[in-house]
Amino acid sequence: MPALSLSDFERDALETLTEFASIPCLSPMFDAQWAKHGHLDAAIELLANWSRARRLQSFDVVVHRLENRTPVLCVTVEATTPGSGTAVLYGHLDKQPPLGDWSDGLDPFIPVRRGDRVFARGIADDGYSTFSALLAIEAMEASDIPHSRCVVLIEASEESGSPDLEAYLDLLAEHLGNVELMICLDSGALTYDRLWVTTSLRGLLNVELTVRVLERGQHSGSASGVVPSSFRVLRQLLERVEDSATGDVLIGEMQPKIPDDHLRAAQDVADEFGDVIARDLPIVAGVELMGTSPADQILRRNWNPTLSIVGMGGIPEPAIAGNVLRASTTAVLSFRLPPSVDAEGASRAVAQVLTTDVPSSAEVTLAMHWADGWVSPALAPWLESALHAASIDAFGQAPAFCGEGGSIPFLASLGKRYPAVQFVATGVLGPDSNAHGIDEMLDLPTAVGVTNAVITVLGAYGAL
């Protein structure tokens, strides 16, 4: 297979990719005025214009827009070999917020290159995907390697749980046609020395939980001891959904049966790579980690339900904290759901637990959104062989297979629509890539390696 080099990627993609990295195109959950601000539109037009400049035999670039929904970029490349099947290559362009102060010399929207790494928000998650997908197809045509019909689909609401995606899948159902292969370029890697193929993804349930006890705040010397603290009521409610001593989630509807092959796969990864989950985390000295072994930590990350409190409201900063019994407290609960759990059913169970017999009869309001997880279907023999060849060609090492703790709602959506489709979920989010955190980073040689792996997989599919 042809090998795309780092210099090829730098010449053909890096300038536009870094321009994309400078656009604060936050996902709608983090920018309610996204349509007014225009950053998502600016990002999708930039990617569309770059796509139109590709050297491809027969292709079409369309930005689809539905009312009150974020746009979608659809690049359709016609087949150069007989066959009726379509390969869909997926990514997203919306970004997480900066989160906090980045390290000295780094800024979320001012891309900085240090060696073969580029730092900026959204560059690895998932800005590189448009470039990787189309450069792979372009390289195939330049080397006269046949490929099937390919549709590169880039959405703009993934970081919000893909609320707009189903509408576009309905809109594009006829255009997508007979989808037989799905390549998702939004996943992770535990190391940078090989192709990592994702075998499962957790689902997601986000709950904005508000506990209100007063119409307005009151002097704590006057009200405390009489009016129950909204924070205390919140603590009591949280104890219903999570054991604070162990971190175990207590919602029965979130408890999975882990498949035997995933249990074995976790042990295989631990045997080969050791403490691969914990060793690159920026852990404060002395903190005791959860899990009894490397294999157990892999399963806890990929198959266990978890709760993280990712946001708080109604609580003043320490510098301005007066002696006031606050009117309300809001917490944003982020549940990661096991891949096989029904997210909507889990949401109903959580809502019932948090709103039934509320302590002190405090007022509780909930705002919820959810997305299902995903378990990869068994690989067809041709694809299993192609992935092995792809990793050897691109990285010089055999591929590795592991679940991921994050969520990509698109995979679950497409899996329901096309139950016979073959999936490849992979990506560049390896150690220190810091997706969603400060100092997000794209490792350029890995982006090139993943692109070359895509070439091999598409070549194998085109040869069927």
Assign residue 169 the CATH number of its domain.
3.40.630.10
> What percentage of the chain reaches a pLDDT higher than 70?
100
Q: Is the model's pLDDT at 298 over the cut of 90?
A: yes
What confidence tier does 129 reach under pLDDT thresholds 50, 70, 90? very high
Q: Is the model's pLDDT at 60 over the cut of 90?
A: yes
d(CA 441, CA 432): 7
Token pair for 60: 């079409």
Residue 447 lies in a domain: yes
Mean pLDDT of 11-20: 98
Residue 352 lies in a domain: yes
The per-residue pLDDT for range 260-283, each reduced to its tens digit, is 999 999 999 999 999 998 888 889
Q: What is the DSSP string of 25-71?
A: -B-GGG-TTHHHH-HHHHHHHHHHHHHHTS--SSEEEEEE--TTS--
Domain region containing 354: 204-260+292-371
**Judgement on whether residues 31 and 133 belong to the same structural domain of the protein:** yes
End-of-domain residue from the set 313, 343, 371: 371
Q: Is the model's pLDDT at 1 over the cut of 70?
A: no
The beta strand positions in 106-202, using DSSP E, are: 112-114, 117-119, 149-155, 178-184, 196-201
Mean pLDDT lowest among 1-5, 210-214, 349-353:
1-5
| β-pairing verdict for 196-201 and 400-404 | parallel
**Judgement on whether residues 386 and 363 belong to the same structural domain of the protein:** no
Q: Is the model's pLDDT at 108 over the cut of 70?
A: yes
**Judgement on whether residues 314 and 388 belong to the same structural domain of the protein:** no
* Residue 212 parent element (H or E): strand 203-212
**Judgement on whether residues 101 and 177 belong to the same structural domain of the protein:** yes
Q: Tell me which residue has tokens 């119409």.
A: 215
Mean pLDDT of 289-298: 94
**Judgement on whether residues 215 and 345 belong to the same structural domain of the protein:** yes
Q: What is the DSSP string of 345-386?
A: HHHHHHHHHHHSS-GGG-EEEEEEEEE--EEPPPPPHHHHHH
Strand order in the sheet with 178-184: 59-64, 72-77, 149-155, 85-92, 178-184, 422-425
d(CA 451, CA 464): 21
- For residue 301, give the nearest of 182, 209, 230, 404 by alpha carbon: 404
pLDDT of the residue at 339:
96
Mean pLDDT of 171-182: 96
Residue 411, SS3? helix
Average pLDDT over all residues of the chain: 96
Burial 257-281 (b: 16+ CB within 10 A, else e): ebeeebeebbbebbeebeebbeeee
- For residue 460, give the nearest of 379, 382, 378, 376 by alpha carbon: 382
Residue 267 lies in a domain: no
**Judgement on whether residues 62 and 137 belong to the same structural domain of the protein:** yes
d(CA 92, CA 94): 6
What confidence tier does 355 reach under pLDDT thresholds 50, 70, 90? very high
Give the total number of structural domains in the chain: 2
- For residue 373, give the nearest of 401, 405, 402, 396 by alpha carbon: 405
**Judgement on whether residues 184 and 231 belong to the same structural domain of the protein:** no
Residue 131, SS3? helix
Token pair for 433: 């890539």
Q: Is the model's pLDDT at 218 over the cut of 80?
A: yes
Token pair for 74: 């659809």
Return the number of other C-beta atoms located less than 10 Å from residue 221's C-beta: 10
End-of-domain residue from the set 321, 342, 371: 371
End-of-domain residue from the set 339, 371, 403: 371
Q: Is the model's pLDDT at 180 over the cut of 70?
A: yes
The per-residue pLDDT for range 390-449, each reduced to its tens digit, is 999 999 999 999 999 999 888 888 888 888 899 999 999 999 999 999 999 999 999 999
Residue 278 lies in a domain: no
**Judgement on whether residues 346 and 448 belong to the same structural domain of the protein:** no
**Judgement on whether residues 378 and 367 belong to the same structural domain of the protein:** no
| β-pairing verdict for 328-337 and 374-375 | unpaired
pLDDT of the residue at 83:
85
Strand partners for 367: 208
d(CA 429, CA 256): 26
244 Cβ neighbours under 8 A, 6+ residues apart: 238
pLDDT of the residue at 361:
98
Token pair for 243: 């054991």
Token pair for 93: 């362009």
What confidence tier does 2 reach under pLDDT thresholds 50, 70, 90? low
**Judgement on whether residues 333 and 191 belong to the same structural domain of the protein:** no
